[in-house]
Amino acid sequence: MNYTSQIIIKKFTDYFEKNGHILYPSSNLLSENDSSVLFTTAGMQQFKEYFTQPELAKEKNIITIQPCLRTSDIEEVGDITHLSSFVMLGNFSFGGYDKEKAIYLAWNFLTSSQYLAVDKKRISATYFIGDKSKQLDADQESKNILEKLKKLGLKDISAQNYQENFWSLGGDNSPAGPTVEFYIDGVEIWNLVFNQYKFTNNQFIKLTTLGIDTGMGVERLEMVLNHYENVFQTDYYLKDKDKLSKCNFDQKELNILLDHFRTIRYLLAENLLPSNKDQGYVLRRLIRRAILILDQKKLSITQLISDATLATEEKNFKKVIINGRKNLLKIYQNKKSISAQDLFDLFQSSGLPLEISQSLIKDENIKLEKNVISEFQKLFTRHQNISRSSLKTKFLGGLENNNQSTIKLHTATHLLLSALKEIISTDIVQKGSNITDQRLRFDYNYDKNLTEDEVGKIENCVNNWIKKSLVVVSEKMTLDKAKSINAEGQFADRYQNEVSVYTIKNGKMVISREICGGPHVKNTNELGSFKIIKVESIAKGIKRIKAVVS
Q: Is 124 helix (H, G, I), strand (E, B) or coil?
A: strand
3-class SS string, 419-480: HHHHHCCCCCCEEEEEECCCCEEEEEECCCCCCHHHHHHHHHHHHHHHHCCCEEEEEEEEHH
Q: Closest Cα to residue 351, out of 291, 304, 300, 284?
A: 284
Q: Tell me how far apart the alpha carbons of residues 118 and 106 are, in angstroms, rounded to a whole number.
A: 12
Q: Which helix (H) or strand (E) holds 310?
A: helix 308-335
pLDDT of residue 35: 63
Q: Closest Cα to residue 126, out of 151, 95, 103, 101?
A: 103
Q: Closest Cα to residue 212, out of 126, 86, 106?
A: 106
Task: Give, in degrees to the nearest 5, the angle at Cα 28 between 26 and 29.
Answer: 110
pLDDT of residue 160: 94
Q: Tell me how far apart the alpha carbons of residues 12 and 18 are, in angstroms, rounded to a whole number.
A: 10
Q: Tell me how far apart the alpha carbons of residues 75 and 254 are, in angstroms, rounded to a whole number.
A: 15
Task: Give, in degrees to the nearest 5, the angle at Cα 429 between 423 and 435.
Answer: 95
Q: Which helix (H) or strand (E) holds 545?
A: strand 542-549
pLDDT of residue 18: 97
pLDDT of residue 492: 47
Q: Tell me how far apart the alpha carbons of residues 54 and 44 are, in angstroms, rounded to a whole number.
A: 13
For 133, list phi and psi in degrees, rounded to 5: -65, -25
Q: Tell me how far apart the alpha carbons of residues 123 and 255 are, in angstroms, rounded to a whole number.
A: 28
Amino acid letter at 111? T
Report how many helices (DSSP H) and strands (DSSP E) the chain contains, helices first.
16, 16
Domains of the chain (ranges, CATH numbers): 5-233 (3.30.930.10), 246-392 (no CATH), 404-549 (3.30.980.10)
Query: For 201, which DSSP code?
Result: T
Whether 226 contacts 48, CB under 8 Å: no
Q: How far is the CA of 410 from the CAs of 155, 321, 462, in angstroms?
A: 58, 40, 13
For 465, list phi and psi in degrees, rounded to 5: -65, -40
Range list of β-strands (E), 471-528: 472-478, 498-506, 509-515
pLDDT of residue 321: 83
Q: Tell me how far apart the alpha carbons of residues 210 and 52 are, in angstroms, rounded to a whole number.
A: 9
Q: Tell me how far apart the alpha carbons of residues 47 and 27 are, in angstroms, rounded to a whole number.
A: 10
Q: Is 274 helix (H, G, I), strand (E, B) or coil?
A: coil
End-to-end CA gap in the chain = 68
Residue 401: how many other CB atoms lie within 10 Å: 13
Whether 548 contacts 439, CB under 8 Å: yes
pLDDT of residue 401: 61
pLDDT of residue 398: 57
Could you list the pLDDT tens digit for every one of the 550 residues in the chain? 899 999 999 999 999 999 999 999 988 898 865 667 889 999 998 898 899 999 988 899 999 999 999 987 787 788 877 899 999 999 999 999 999 999 999 999 999 999 999 999 999 999 999 999 999 999 999 999 999 999 999 999 999 999 899 999 877 788 999 999 999 999 999 999 999 999 988 899 999 999 999 999 999 999 999 999 889 999 999 999 999 988 999 999 999 999 999 999 999 988 888 987 788 889 998 999 999 899 889 999 999 999 999 999 999 998 888 888 888 888 888 888 888 898 888 887 777 777 778 877 877 788 787 788 888 888 887 876 666 555 544 444 556 567 889 899 999 999 999 999 999 999 999 887 888 888 998 988 998 889 999 999 999 999 999 999 999 999 999 988 998 999 988 654 445 677 889 999 999 999 999 998 889 999 999 999 999 998 887 666 788 899 999 8
